[in-house]
Structure 1
């Protein structure tokens, strides 16, 4: 009888201890996060919605990740997805159902396939924060080639035409007239011909070309969305042209990601400064968002982008120019004060 009573007391104590420890162990096994999108495919720069749903214990609280709310033009990047803004967040309401959700407006510049996630989420319970994440999934990225475009056709057979004589006669007559006119001009203006022969071809350096284009952007009109878009098109072309000429990288034929990979390869070969990669990436990302996603930043961000390009020029010139030579004309990079 005493053994039965002792066993009953032990069982009651074990059940009570389990009930007291339940709030502590619950958050470690009672929360899940999943992400999905209603769109089955997208295209480069197209905006679409991404939804994240979290199931949590009723006593816990969900903390979602959000992009910055300032006017710096920066966005939150997760894998191949750029989170532009938060459309809906139910976590502040602390629903007793134990389910919270958030809806983001996102875009991507990936080719063929975009990887979505994992999206990080925090679950706060009993003073501790547990970090969880959604499983990644893939969204196909449609080609920019029109759907009704036809495949490449086979070559047509070479058409045979009878030889024509009159074009050669016309060409010969024009050649005689041009030769006579040149000789007449040459005899009457020998000084002009001598000047043209002795004048060397003027080719400006990559730094001078980029500096002149940046000076023109300093006074560009940014009052409309179209003018801001044109501004970033010209700013991106200026940076790409400079890198193409200075680092011998085919930047004008590359996407932003491919161009940064080429610069990274040059830096690994000690042919480019590694610190320029992050600055150039910020300029290209802001330009791509304005050109493709039509996300136009404030005017102060436009001016900051010009300064970032100037920083790229200065870092590159200091890296590639020997110390015993003139490194860079700093007055060319700093605009004159009005």
Structure 2
């Protein structure tokens, strides 16, 4: 019978364990890194975010995070996958920043399939800095100019002039008023301007100008298209849309219970307008006409869901003018 020495057995186990750890480390070693802007970002700015993973051996498949991994204050635009080498994979994302404070990208999962096994690794969290572009509410107001002080010597003249005017008015009223032929003119009721019709006219004007331009001015086009929708929302719902950011306008519309489809069309047009103005986004002609079509869908939906509101506003407008006219003639 063969006798095994304990010391020899211990040495063999140590060697086998070391070889197994070395082989396992060689098979499963990965290096994951991210690349993102180090400078602060403004609202609406588009930036690149990339994930690169290096394996010690070639992987069968690498599954990177999809669009569902980004949300909240980050808008997913597109992504591109690169096979740098047999053991290196990279994915680059185009994201749009809509936060009003610093944002942290949480650890993102990456699946690595190799030799039939799936390993899950995570990226390190990354902080995106917010850059404020408007003045702080804590800024001090400039001092007001001192009020003009009138010389005390002119007050007697002002009082005398007022007494003279009062005496003249009394004399005219008592002796000459009845001699003056008064013509009562009926004031015409001003025409109520329907916001839907006004919006339709603006859209037609934008289309004609955009079609006639040889060199397309996309910045003008998106600005006019976005302002037309903002004007309608402000005119009908009394939301300060023309002086608010896109994010604020959409929040106002949700809060006021604006129709979901109208909010959807507004979001598409206003986001593309912001990208054209602030992110140096250069759209194509087809993209511009698609944005214009969203404006037309906004118009057609508004004709359906806002008709009752517009009729109520029209009735209040005409009733108010009629009451003002009756008060004027009654006082006369």
Q: TM-score range, shorter-chain basis?
A: 0.5 to 0.7
1:125 aligns with 2:125: no
SS of the counterpart of 2:112?
A: strand
Give 1:139-150 correspondences, 5 Å limit: 139-145=128-134
Q: What is the distance in 1 between the residues matched to 2:282 and 2:117?
A: 39
Give 1:240-259 correspondences, 5 Å limit: 240-259=230-249
Alpha-carbon RMSD across the aligned residues, in angstroms, is 4.7
TM-fit CA distance, 1:304: 1.3
Match of 1:207 among 190, 196, 206: 196
Q: 1:256–1:45: structure 2 CA closer, same or farther, 3 Å change rule?
A: closer
Match of 1:233 among 203, 209, 223: 223
1:40 aligns with 2:39: yes
Partner of 1:221: 210
Match of 2:85 among 91, 94, 99: 94
Partner of 2:294: 308
SS of the counterpart of 2:83?
A: helix
1:183-212 CA-partner distances (Å, limit 9, x unpaired): xxx989x7xx84xx4322123212111111
Q: 1:237–1:38: structure 2 CA closer, same or farther, 3 Å change rule?
A: closer
TM-fit CA distance, 1:235: 0.7
Unpaired runs of 5+ residues, structure 1, are: 68-75, 177-185, 326-338
TM-score normalised according to structure 2 size: 0.63
* Number of corresponding residues: 281
Which stretch has the larger CA shift, 206-215 or 246-255?
246-255
SS of the counterpart of 2:210?
A: coil
Q: 1:49–1:305: structure 2 CA closer, same or farther, 3 Å change rule?
A: closer
SS of the counterpart of 1:52?
A: strand
TM-fit CA distance, 1:311: 1.8
Partner of 2:172: none
Partner of 2:151: 162
Task: Please tell me whether the aligned partners of residues 81 and 115 of structure 1 are also in contact (alpha carbons under 8 angstroms).
Answer: no
SS of the counterpart of 1:54?
A: strand
Unpaired runs of 5+ residues, structure 2, are: 170-179, 312-332
Task: Please tell me whether the aligned partners of residues 236 and 283 of structure 1 are also in contact (alpha carbons under 8 angstroms).
Answer: yes
Give 1:62-73 correspondences, 5 Å limit: 62-64=62-64
Q: 1:38–1:293: structure 2 CA closer, same or farther, 3 Å change rule?
A: closer
1:73-122 CA-partner distances (Å, limit 9, x unpaired): xxx96553456677x96x413254xx544555655343343444656645
1:286 aligns with 2:272: yes
1:21-77 CA-partner distances (Å, limit 9, x unpaired): 959x966xx54644343533233455555443334442325455699xxxxxxxx96
